Structure 1
Amino acid sequence: MLQRLFKILGTLVLVLILVIVTCNLVIKNTAKGKTFYDTSKIPKNRVGLVLGTSNRITDGSSNPYYMYRIEATIALYNAGKIEFILVSGDNGSIYYNEPNTIKKDLVNAGIPEKVIFLDYAGFRTLDSMVRAKFIFGLDKVTVISQEFHNERAIYIAKQKGLDAIGFNAQDLSTTQGFKVQLREYFARVKVFIDVLFNTQPKFYGAKIEIK
């Protein structure tokens, strides 16, 4: 009986590993050739979409993922590879507002306030990509985040009819970013579940024109 139980558990683990590996490969292959580190090589798009994250981590110190996304956005805008910036993030409470925080830092860095648009309902990457297409009316977009995040966003965008490329912010080493990178594998499996069940954003709302 115990031997049979171990055999079943072993089979389930192997299936889970196969699912994780398959989802990861499909997403990486979909994004192949569509993410860039060099501003001189990335094609120009009218709008850059910054995917939000907290500017602080749990111990209260600065979040390097946030800092690197801000730096990447500034570099892309200053290189003339985007004209407008759409900031999409979580606005879950009066005490937590990713879009406003990002906007403030971008403006402080010299980016004109008039070119920055905010999506307060980007609770998940799926929400951000779908809303970019259907609320902000975008057909093409440059996603700004770390490469692993850009790859997932590009896959979601393709499923929703949005032509996306990614500008990769600096990442952390495997040791520093282990928890985030591990979580990413499961997030990629969740993408396929969302696609299968046609998961929708938490909110839609009135359309907003970026101009």
Structure 2
Amino acid sequence: MGYIMISMAKILYFTGPILIIALLALLTSEQHYRESFYHPYLVINFLVFLIVWVGSTLALKISFAYPLPKGYFWKIAGAWSITSSISWLINHFILSGFLARSGSRPKFSIPILVLTWIFGLILVLGWFYGLALLKYIFTSSQLRWLKVGIEVVLSVLGLFLVIIVVINLHVRFRFRDRITSVDSVQSNATAIVFGAGVYQESGRPSLVLRDRIETAAELVEKGKSESVLLSGDGSAGSIEVDVMARHAVEIGIPESILVLDKSGYRTYETCSRACTEFGIRDALLVTQDFHLPRALLICKSVGLGAVGVRADRTRYSLLSHLIWALRESLATAYAWLEEMVNHK
């Protein structure tokens, strides 16, 4: 097992910085540019970072070695500083070319760039020194207990991740036929719009929430829904449902067909209350694709017949997709477990 772990460490030595660079390229892309060229620019940003990183590590002759050679810290710090500064400079000119088509200029924030450099340096140093520590642990006969402990933790963590992935794939496959678009949906049931946060200062819905409300409006316009349930957080100080209702009326949904639920604090509450409090038996769930499998699973568990309608009207940033995927994968696994327990 120790040999396998050391071999994995050697592989991770090379792949780890690539993942870190991908993350930092994503963060800097997110900071500077969010429009339609976001995705191709992100790829270019990542490639520039990667090429400069490989070049700087080769130039400074950085390699996997233990014990760490003298001056290793300064070599890593230097390689990352060279990578970050040259890459940001190159990407600035590339991005300027992208934005020149629309007559705008890239938005650079010096504090953000400095923080990103510090964050990247900590990650890169932590990665290399962490691997060196792992190699020391797995080659030292005096730390056998720690070696066993790490193996157990990694095994449990790996098993946990496998279970999470399997559950999510199962749920998505199970409800794949109940997810559709506005044009394809045949039902004429109540549209349920899930809350997704609002901007408190401006009193406007977030981009995700706006897309959900506008999708519901399209369902009403095309005669595919005769009523709309707006469900969100109505606790003290929250204006989420009020903002949802105001925006719905502004874009043409008749106020007379709106139903407000100010106790939809989470997906489960929204689906459950739709049945128990509002007497809904069939519904169109209006939310983004990443959220639909879990919402459909919960609706089935509370006895609500539902069809999911995708509300992905905008090209959301890749960073948002990554955050949603992480959060939703855990929430879906929890909802599946909750369904299994309640079913029994």
Structure 2 residue aligned with 1:101: 243
Structure 1 residue aligned with 2:282: 140
Structure 2 residue aligned with 1:150: 292
TM-score, reference length from structure 2:
0.53
Which of residues 194, 214, 229 is equivalent to 1:51? 194
Question: In the TM superposition, what whole-angstrom CA distance separates every residue of 1:160-184 from its partner, at most 9, and x where no partner exists?
Answer: 2211111111162433432122111
Question: In the TM superposition, what whole-angstrom CA distance separates every residue of 1:144-174 from its partner, at most 9, and x where no partner exists?
Answer: 0101112111011111221111111116243
Which of residues 308, 323, 328 is equivalent to 1:184? 328
Which of residues 273, 278, 283 is equivalent to 1:131? 273
More RCO (CA 8 Å, sep 6+) = 1
Please provide the CA RMSD for this pair.
2.2
The alpha-carbon deviation at position 192 of structure 1 amounts to 2.6
Question: In the TM superposition, what whole-angstrom CA distance separates every residue of 1:40-77 from its partner, at most 9, and x where no partner exists?
Answer: 2111222000001112399x996221121122111111
The alpha-carbon deviation at position 25 of structure 1 amounts to 1.4
Structure 1 residue aligned with 2:168: 24
Structure 2 residue aligned with 1:77: 220
* Alpha carbons 2:214, 2:251 under 8 Å: kept: no
Structure ranking higher in strand proportion: 1
The residue matched to 1:177 in structure 2 has which SS?
Answer: helix
Task: Report the residue type matching 1:51 in the other structure.
Answer: F
Q: Does 1:113 align with 2:113?
A: no
Q: How does 1:171-210 map to 2 (within 5 A)?
A: 172-198=316-342
Structure 2 residue aligned with 1:208: none
Task: Report the residue type matching 2:253 in the other structure.
Answer: I
CA 1:7/1:126 → structure 2, altered by over 3 Å: closer, same or farther?
A: same
Structure ranking higher in helix proportion: 2
The alpha-carbon deviation at position 131 of structure 1 amounts to 0.8
Task: Report the residue type matching 1:143 in the other structure.
Answer: L
The residue matched to 2:159 in structure 1 has which SS?
Answer: helix
TM-score, reference length from structure 1:
0.85
* Alpha carbons 2:191, 2:283 under 8 Å: kept: yes
> Unaligned regions of 5+ residues in structure 2, if any?
1-144
CA 1:62/1:159 → structure 2, altered by over 3 Å: closer, same or farther?
A: closer
Cα separation, 2, equivalents of 1:193 and 1:40: 33
The residue matched to 1:80 in structure 2 has which SS?
Answer: coil
Structure 1 residue aligned with 2:206: 63
Cα separation, 2, equivalents of 1:121 and 1:152: 19
> Unaligned regions of 5+ residues in structure 1, if any?
199-211
Q: Does 1:9 align with 2:146?
A: no
* Alpha carbons 1:70, 1:106 under 8 Å: kept: yes
Percent same amino acid among aligned pairs?
27
CA 1:183/1:78 → structure 2, altered by over 3 Å: closer, same or farther?
A: same
Deviates more, 1:76-85 or 1:164-173: 164-173
> How many residue pairs get matched?
196
Cα separation, 1, equivalents of 2:227 and 2:208: 21
The alpha-carbon deviation at position 119 of structure 1 amounts to 0.9
The residue matched to 1:121 in structure 2 has which SS?
Answer: coil
